[in-house]
Amino acid sequence: MVDRSALRLVEGSVVLTPLREADAPALLDLARESRDDIYPWMRWTDGFHSLDGAAARIAEWLSEWNRQQGYAFAAWDTDSGAMIGGGSLGQFNAKNRFCNLAYWVRTSARGRGIGPTITRAVSRFGFEQLGLLRIEILMEPENTASRRVAEKSGAQREGILRNRILNLGGPKTALLYSLIPSDLSPTTSPLSGPGQVQSPAPAPLSREP
Ligand SMILES: CC(C)(COP(=O)(O)OP(=O)(O)OC[C@H]1O[C@@H](n2cnc3c(N)ncnc32)[C@H](O)[C@@H]1OP(=O)(O)O)[C@@H](O)C(=O)NCCC(=O)NCCS
């Protein structure tokens, strides 16, 4: 298992750390501000009306991490110290070493390229620490902001998948984008240079889903 305690992902001006119990107040604050923008596209804000709700969601993410079924990170602004977004890897296919990436940015931080920065940082972690060969990004076609994040991150559009996302209102068609390790060369970064995964030791993905 990848040790959470010393792990920091650094990409441009954004630092990401694994979500911890102590992050519940910051996560609740982010969700309260951004719920109307995030909820139509992602369901993790369900039940986010209290500190207990935020703590319960973090506990689920931690449990997934411990079972090597999910890796959720919070993104922090290095100047203000505010939680500005997050990203998570999940839905692992261990046999073929790929998974799904999700990302979100708080409403007041949108439009500053944070989404693509989170995408690159978390994907770099997946490739370098988990030994992934491919990361998939799925979104509803109407989610223009998410499509732009995928494109600006260097992901390639691969197709349209019917009934691929179960979201509000039932099954939805999805656009599929993917990243592979060579998509993340330092030259794709619009920011200050290549990102870093700061962690003691790489750990290969070892678990069947
Ligand atoms: C998708 C999301 C992560 C984008 O994050 P971001 O940090 O704003 O990303 P960027 O700054 O690179 O902007 C990406 C696009 O968002 C749109 N955008 C920019 N500023 C915006 C704002 N203030 N409000 C709404 N959308 C905005 C633009 O289409 C932009 O594309 P462009 O750069 O070509 O103009 C964010 O909008 C979000 O959290 N959305 C809700 C959750 C979600 O849909 N996640 C993806 C699920 S598949």
Mean pLDDT per 10-residue section of the chain, whose length is 209 residues: 92 94 96 92 79 94 97 94 97 97 98 97 97 98 98 98 92 97 68 57 45
User: Token pair 């691929």 is at which residue?
Assistant: 164
Note the pLDDT of residue 185.
65
Find, among 168, 145, 126, 144, the residue nearest to 85 by Cα. Answer: 145
- Distance (angstroms) between ligand 1 centre and the Cα of 95 equals 32
Q: What pLDDT does 113 receive?
A: 97
Question: Which residue puts its alpha carbon closest to atom 24 of ligand 1?
Answer: 110
Instruction: Say what the pLDDT of residue 188 is.
Output: 43
pLDDT score, position 97: 98
Cβ of 174 closer than 6 Å to ligand 1, yes or no, is no
Helix axis angle for 114-129 and 144-152, nearest 10°, is 50
Residue 47 has a pLDDT of 66
Q: Which domains does the chain have, with CATH numbers?
A: 8-133 (3.40.630.30)
- The preferred substitution site among 44, 110, 175 for testing ligand 1, maximizing ligand atoms within 8 Å of CB, is 110
Pocket test for ligand 1, best of 91, 105, 108 (most atoms within 8 A of CB): 105
Which residues in 55-180 belong to E strands, given as ranges?
70-77, 83-93, 98-105, 134-139, 156-167, 170-179
